[in-house]
A and B are shown apart, each in its own frame.
Chain A
Amino acid sequence: MAKDALMDYDKALELFEPVLGFEVHVELNTKTKMFSSAPNEFGSAANTNVSPVCLGLPGALPVVNEQAVRYAISLGLALGCSIAPSSRFARKNYFYPDLAKNYQISQYDEPIAFEGSVDVEMPDGRIVTVPIERAHMEEDAGKLTHVGGSTGRIQGAEYSLVDYNRAGVPLVEIVTDIIYGAEADAPELAKAYVATIRDIVTSLGISDAKMERGNLRCDANISLRPRTAAGEPPAPLGTRTETKNVNSLRSVERAIRYEIQRQAAILASGGTIIQETRHWHEDTGRTSAGRPKSDADDYRYFPEPDLLPVEPSVELIEELRAALPEPPAARRRRLKADWGFTDLEFQDVVNGGLLVEITETVAAGATPAAARKWWTGEISRVANVQGVEASALVSPENVAALAGLVDTGTLTDKLARQVLEGVIAGEGTPQEVVDARGLAVVSDDGALIAAIDDALASQPDVLAKIRDGKVQAAGAVIGAVMKAMKGQADAARVRELVLERAQS
C-alpha cells in the first residue's frame, strides 16, 4: 500500500473547511432477528443461528420483529426525531454472497424516524447540536471470511466462507444531516458524536453497543471545501469519501483527522478526490481505497411487497416516549453532581469516553473517586500504550473489586497496579491475581516489627534523631523497611510502627 501524502493538519484547516456526515449502524439486542425467529446471538458456531428466512430459502417470507420496531421508535425519540405514523420497508437489490436473498430489506424513502438532533458535548465542555436526518430499520448481512490471501481481503483469496448468523440481525441506521462548522474540532466532534450515540443506545438498553464486536459501526463521510475570501460566496461542497471499518471511538477521531490531511494534500496539489469508500486500518492508522461509489449506484429500490407498512399507534409512541431515560446531557449533569467531580475531572471522564465504565464501576460498589482514578489513570494509560479502548481491557466489576482491595488495605496503590496488569493479562479476577502472585500487603505486625528493628539497629543515627523528635528522619527507615518487604506493606502502618519502636 503506497503511503498517502498528508498535509499538516493546521495548514489543511487554514485552506479548507471540513464538512462531515455520519452513518452509524446500531445492532439491536433483540432476542430474535429482524424478520425471522432465528436467535440474535453473538459468538455462536457458524451458520447455527439461521432459519429459512435468513438463508433466503425458496418460499420463505419475512415477518417484522415488533420488539425491533419498539427499539427503533425509542431510539428515534431519543434522537429527537418525529416518528412516522406509517413507514415502509423497501428492497435494496444487489448481488453479494453475504446477502442471502441478494436484496437487503431496508427502509428507503419512508423511514420510521426523521428530522431530529443530538446535543454532543465537546472535550472543552461546549455543546454542539448535530442534526439528524433520519433513523431507519434494516437487516444486517452475513459475514464473509476470505481464506488463502495474505490480507484477509477478497483480492487474492482462494475461497471465501459465509456465516449467516449475522444475516438478518436488526439494525437501526442513524444518518446525520450535513454537519458544517466543526472546523479544527472535526475529529473530536466525530468521536464525541459516536460516543453520544453509544451512550444513548446503552441507556436505552437496546444494543450491546460494543464497537469492537461491530454492534455499533460508524461510516464517516468527509469532504473539504476551499475557503473563500470574506464577502465571496462559499465554494461548492467538495467530493466526499466514506470511511468504513472504524471500530473504536479512538479510530473515529484518527480516521477523520487522517482523511482531512489526505484530502487536503490531494486538493492542494491540484488533484481531485475520488468518491469512494475508504477502509480504515487501525494498525497503520491509514485509510485505503475501497469500492468506488457514486450517486448513480443503482439498487433498484422498490417497496417490499412481502411486508405491510409499519404503523405504530400514537399510544405506543407515547408509551415509549414516557419511558425514555434522561438525555445524555442531563444525565451527565446529574452524574457530575452525584459523583462530586470537578469540571476538570468530569471532562476527563467524558473525553475518555468513560461515562458508561465509571457508572458501571460505581454500580459494582466502587466509590466514584476510585472509579475515576482507575479508569482515567492507569487503565487509560495502558489502553493508550496498547492502542485499544479502555473498556476492552477490563470489566467494571473487576475495577470495582480492585478498588475494594485497596480500600480494605489488602493492596497498596502500587501493588494494585501490578494486580491490574495481571487482570488485563487475563490471569483472572483481582483476588485471583493477588492469590496467584502473592501480592497482598503484609499486615502481620510481627514481620514488620522484625524488619523495623533490623533497620533501626543498622541506622543508629536515625534512631537518635527520631528520639530527638525529628520524626521526618523516619523516612529513611520506612524506605528500608518497604524495600525489605518488597513493597508489600502499607507505608502508613510502617511509619506508625517505626515511631512506636523508636520510642520503646
Chain B
Amino acid sequence: MNDIIRMTAADLATHLQSGEISAVDATQAHLDRIEAVDTDVHAFLAVSSDALDTARRIDERRAAGEKLGPLAGVPLAVKDVLVTTDMPSTSGSKILEGYMSPFDATVVRLSREAGLIPIGKTNMDEFAMGSSTEHSAYGPTRNPWDLDRIPGGSGGGSAAAVAAFEAPLALGSDTGGSIRQPAHVTGTVGVKPTYGAVSRYGAIALASSLDQVGPVTRTVLDAGLLHDVIAHHDPHDSTSLKDVWPSMADAARSGARGEGLAGLKVGVVRELTGNGFQAGVQSRFDETVALLTQQGAEVIEVSAPHFEYAVAAYYLILPAEASSNLAKFDSVRFGMRVQPEGGGTVEQVMAATREAGFGPEVKRRIILGTYALSAGYYDAYYGSAQKVRTLIQRDFNTAFEKVDVLVTPSAPTTAFKFGEKLEDPMAMYLNDITTIPANLAGIPGISVPIGLAPEDGLPVGIQVMAPQREDARLYRVGAAIEALLEQQWGHTLISQAPALGGK
C-alpha cells in the first residue's frame, strides 16, 4: 500500500491500465493514508463516502473492456472552492458550512468523466483569501515538511495533501498565487494556466478577472496529465477560451527528455530577485538558472518596471471584485442564517449572518473593496489599479519580445511559522509579490521544486512564466528543470520529506 501512495499519478495510471492495481485499491490506499496522517496535516475538510463505489465502477468498466481516460481510477483531491454534488463545498467559510451544491464545477465534471476519483475536499483560506490557510474557518493545514509551519495559501490543503501522499493529484485555484506559492513551500508542482484556459464555472468566485483553476501535483508530468483533463472550452463560462490545446503531458515528456533548453531564451526579472528574498531561496534559484545556462539556455536579465505596483493594484482589484462576488452570501437562499434577537428585518438578518459567517480577513477585504468602488474613489483606486494592470501587461509583452520564458523564485521565503504574519496583513500580502503579476496579465505560470534552502531545510520553488496561451512551454521547461535536478540529486525532492505520524 505504501508503494501505491508514493507513486506518481502517471505511474499509478500505468498500473491501473495494466490491471496490476485496481481503482479500489488505489482509492483505499489513499483513504487509509488520509486516516493515518490527516489528523496531523488537516489537508481535508471532507472525505468522500462515495469514492470506493466510484472506484468500483471504474474497475467494472475497465473489466468490461471499456476504453477509459489515461487517468481513470486515479484519486483526486479537490479544493473546497470548487462545488461538488457529493461533498459539501464551503470555500473554507462558516457561512457555507454544510452547503451542498446542486451541480458540479465544470472541472469536477470533466475529472469525473475522465474517470478520476474525487476522494475529498481540501482546506483553504476562507474564500481563497490568504497565503497560509490560517484564515480557514476550519483551522489551518500544516506543512508536511514541518508541522509547525504553514503549507502556503490559499490552496494549502491541496498542496499539503499531495505533499503528504494523501492524494496523487489535486485541483487548486490561483487568484494571486494560491496554487504556485503553496507548491513552493511544500516541494510540489503547481500550475496556474492561461486565464480562460480552464473553466471557472463552479469555482466559488474570489476575483473573477484573476481566478484560474489548475493542477497541484508532485511532478510536472502529472500536472500536465491533469491539465489535459480540465482545459476545455466551457459554454457556461463566458471568459473560457475556445482554443484547442496541445497536450501538456506530451510537452512535459518532451521537456523531460531534455528537448527545448538549448537556445531557449530565459528572462530573469530584475525586480523579482535579490533584495527582499531569503538567502537560501535566492541561492537555489541562482543555481537553477546557472544549470539552465549549462544546458544551452541563454539567460537574459529583463526589467519589468511596473511590477513594483502589482501588489498595490492587486489589492484594489481583488477586494473590489470580491466585495461584489461575496454579496450573494446573505442567508436568503442558502447557507448560514443568523436571526438577531427578537427577529429583525431582512436587512438585519443579512447583516447578522455576514457578521457571524465571515472571518476577519474576508471582512477586511470586503470593506476595502467596497471603499475602492465607492463613488468619488473609483477613479483613484479601482480605475488606477486597472491602469497599472495594463502597464504590467505591457511589461510582460516587452519582456516576451526578448525572451521565451521568465523565471523568478516562486515566493520570497520558505514556509513561515504559524502566526508569524497573521497580525501583519501587509507582510502576508507581500508573500505573493512574485506570483501576482501573472494573474494581473492573465499569463500562465508554474512552480517547480528546485531544492531545500540551506538555512532551514525547507523546499524552494522556481516560477516559470510564459506568454498567454503558451502553457505548453511551461511544461516543457518545467519538466526539463525537474529532470536535470533529479538527475543531479539522484532522487526526487519530495522523497526527502519527513515521515508523518510515525507510520
Residues of A within 8 A of B327 (CB): 93, 95, 101-103
**A93 touching B324 by the CB < 8 A rule?**
yes
Known: A305-B209, A306-B239. A57 touches B321 (CB 8 A): no
Identify B333's interface contact among A56, A59, A93, A103, CB under 8 A: A56
Q: Which residues on the B side are within 8 Å of A64 (C-beta)?
A: 238
B388 at the interface (CB under 8 A from A): no
Asked if A63 is an interface residue, CB under 8 A from chain B, the answer is yes
Q: Given A93-B324, A103-B327, A305-B208, are A58 and B235 neighbors across the interface (CB < 8 Å)?
A: no
Q: Is the CB of B209 within 8 A of A302?
A: no
How far apart are the CA atoms of A91 and B238 in the complex, in Å? 16
Q: Chain B residues near A127: list those with CB within 8 A.
A: none
Judge whether A307 is part of the interface by a CB distance below 8 angstroms: yes
Give the nearest-CB partner of A91 in chain B. Answer: B324
Known A95-B350, A300-B374, A306-B239: A58·B209 in contact at CB below 8 Å: no
CA distance A320 to B323 in the complex (A): 39
Which residue of chain B has the shortest Cβ distance to A160 in the bound complex? B346
B71-127 with Cβ < 8 A to chain A: 82-83, 89, 91, 96, 99, 101-103, 105
Q: In the assembled complex, which residues on chain A have CB atoms less than 8 Å from the CB atom of B207?
A: 305
A302 touches B378 (CB 8 A): yes
Residue numbers in B under 8 Å from A475 (CB-CB)? none
Q: Which of A261-310 contact B (CB under 8 A)?
A: 296, 298, 300-302, 305-308
A3 CB to closest chain B CB (Å) equals 29
Whether A327 sits at the interface, judged by CB under 8 Å, is no
Q: Which residues of B contact A63 (CB under 8 A)?
A: 235-238
Report the bound CA distance from A387 to B431 in whole Å: 69
Q: B370 contacts which chain A residues (CB < 8 A)?
A: 300
Give the residue of A102, A302, A305 whose beta carbon is less than 8 angstroms from that of B373: A302
Q: Are A93 and B373 in contact (CB under 8 A)?
A: yes
B218 → A minimal CB distance (Å): 27
> Which of A60, A101, A301, A308 interacts with B239 by CB under 8 Å?
A308
Cβ contact within 8 Å between B204 and A58: yes
Chain A residues within an 8 Å CB radius of B204: 58-59
- Chain B residues lying within 8 Å of A62, measured Cβ to Cβ, are 238
C-alpha spacing A298/B235, complex, angstroms = 33
B205 touches A59 (CB 8 A): yes
User: Is the CB–CB distance between A52 and B102 below 8 Å?
Assistant: yes
Q: How far is the CA of A62 from the CA of B200 in the complex (A)?
A: 11
The verdict on A97 contacting chain B, using a C-beta distance below 8 Å, is: yes
A97 to B237 CA separation, bound complex (whole angstroms): 25
Check A59 against B346 for contact (C-beta < 8 Å). Answer: no
Give every chain B residue within 8 A of A59 (Cβ-Cβ). Answer: 82-83, 89, 101, 103, 105, 201-205
Once the chains bind, are B375 and A58 in contact (CB under 8 Å)?
no
- A61's partner among B99, B102, B236, B347 (CB-CB below 8 A) is B236
Contact partner of A95 among B83, B91, B99, B330, CB < 8 A? Answer: B330
Q: Are A58 and B238 in contact (CB under 8 A)?
A: no
Asked if B103 contacts A102 (CB within 8 A), the reply is no
Chain A residues whose CB sits within 8 angstroms of the CB of B205 once the complex forms: 59, 61, 306
Judged by a CB distance under 8 angstroms, whether B334 is at the interface is yes
Q: Is B160 an interface residue (CB 8 A)?
A: no
Q: Does B307 contact A (CB under 8 A)?
A: no
* B346-A97 in contact (CB<8A): yes
Closest residue of chain B to A94, judged by CB?
Answer: B327
Contact with A along B328-356 (1 / 0, CB 8 A): 10101110000000000011001000000
Q: Would you call A101 and B373 a contact (CB within 8 A)?
A: no
Contact: B374 with A302, CB < 8 Å? no
Q: Report if A55 contacts B (CB, 8 A).
A: yes
Q: Is the CB of B333 within 8 A of A100?
A: yes
Q: How far is the CA of A173 from the CA of B328 in the complex (A)?
A: 24
Give Cα A97 to B346, complex, Å.
8
**Among the listed A95, A103, A298, which residue makes an inter-chain contact with B374, where contact means beta carbons less than 8 Å apart?**
A298
Q: Does A300 contact B201, Cβ atoms closer than 8 Å?
A: no
Q: Write out the residue numbers on chain A whose beta carbons fall within 8 Å of the beta carbon of B285.
A: none
Which of A55, A93, A95, A307 has most chain B Cβ within 10 Å? A95
Q: Mark A74-118, 1 if CB is under 8 A from B, else 0.
A: 000000000000000001010101001111000000000000000
- Name the CB-closest residue of B to A307: B238
Interface residues of A, CB < 8 Å — how many?
Answer: 30
Q: 1/0 per position for B200-224, CB-CB distance to A under 8 A?
A: 1111110111000000000000000
Query: At the interface, yes or no: A6 with Cβ under 8 Å from chain B?
Result: no
Check if A95 sits within 8 Å of B347, measured CB to CB.
yes
Determine the distance from Cα of A64 to Cα of B370 in the docked complex, in whole angstroms. 26
| Interchain CA distance A351-B59 in the complex, whole Å | 75
Chain B, residue nearest A304 (CB): B208
Q: Are B320 and A162 in contact (CB under 8 A)?
A: no
B129 → A minimal CB distance (Å): 15
**B375 CB to nearest chain A CB (Å):** 5
A218 to chain B, nearest CB (A): 27
Q: How far is the CB of A407 from chain B (nearest CB, A)?
A: 55
Say whether B382 faces chain A, with CB atoms less than 8 Å apart.
Answer: yes
Q: Which residue of B lies closest to A306 (CB)?
A: B208
* Bound complex: CA A57 to CA B204 (Å): 9
- In contact, B208 and A102 (Cβ under 8 angstroms): no
Complex: chain A residue closest to B81, CB-CB: A59
B96: chain A residues within 8 A (beta carbon): 58
Contact A58 B373 (CB under 8 A): no
Q: Which residues of B contact A91 (CB under 8 A)?
A: 324
Best-surrounded residue of A91, A97, A300 (most CB of chain B within 10 A) = A300
Which B residues lie within 8 Å of A160 (CB)? 346
Could you tell me the distance between the alpha carbons of A59 and B99 in the complex, rounded to whole angstroms? 12
| Bound CA span A93–B382, Å | 15
Q: Which residues of chain A are within 8 angstroms of B105 by Cβ–Cβ distance?
A: 59
Q: Is the CB of B330 within 8 A of A60?
A: no
- Determine the distance from Cα of A302 to Cα of B103 in the docked complex, in whole angstroms: 28
- The smallest beta-carbon distance between B351 and chain A, in angstroms, is 9
CB proximity to B under 8 Å, residues A183-229: none
Which residue of B236, B323, B334, B375 is within 8 Å of A57 (Cβ)? B334
Taken together as a complex, chains A and B put the C-alpha atoms of A332 and B239 apart, in Å, by: 45
B200 touches A55 (CB 8 A): no
Query: A97 near B332 (CB under 8 angstroms)?
Result: yes
Which chain B residue shows the least CB distance to A101?
B328
A302–B375 touching, CB < 8 Å: no
Q: Which residue of A lies closest to B240 (CB)?
A: A61
| Cα–Cα, bound, A305→B238 (Å) | 10
Q: Find out whether the CB atom of A58 lies under 8 angstroms from the CB atom of B83.
A: yes
Which chain A residues in 135-166 approach chain B with CB under 8 Å?
160, 162
Interface pair B320/A298, CB less than 8 Å apart? no
Contact present for A61 and B237 (CB under 8 Å): yes
Q: Which residue of B lies closest to A55 (CB)?
A: B333
A69 to chain B, nearest CB (A): 13
Report the minimal beta-carbon distance from B204 to chain A, rounded to whole angstroms.
4
Q: How far is the CB of A92 from chain B (nearest CB, A)?
A: 10
A57 touches B324 (CB 8 A): no
Distance, CA A294 to CA B201, complexed state (A): 37
Interface hub of B102, B200, B327 (most chain A Cβ within 10 A): B327
List A contacts of B333 (CB < 8 A): 55-57, 100
A86 to B359, CA, bound (A): 40
Q: Is B382 touching A302 in the complex (CB atoms < 8 A)?
A: yes
A interface list, Cβ under 8 A from B: 52, 55-64, 91, 93, 95, 97, 100-103, 160, 162, 296, 298, 300-302, 305-308
7 A/B residue pairs, CB under 8 Å, sorted by A: A61-B237, A62-B238, A63-B235, A63-B238, A103-B324, A302-B320, A307-B238
A-B pairs with lowest CB-CB distance, top 8: A102-B327, A305-B208, A300-B373, A59-B202, A305-B209, A59-B83, A56-B328, A58-B204
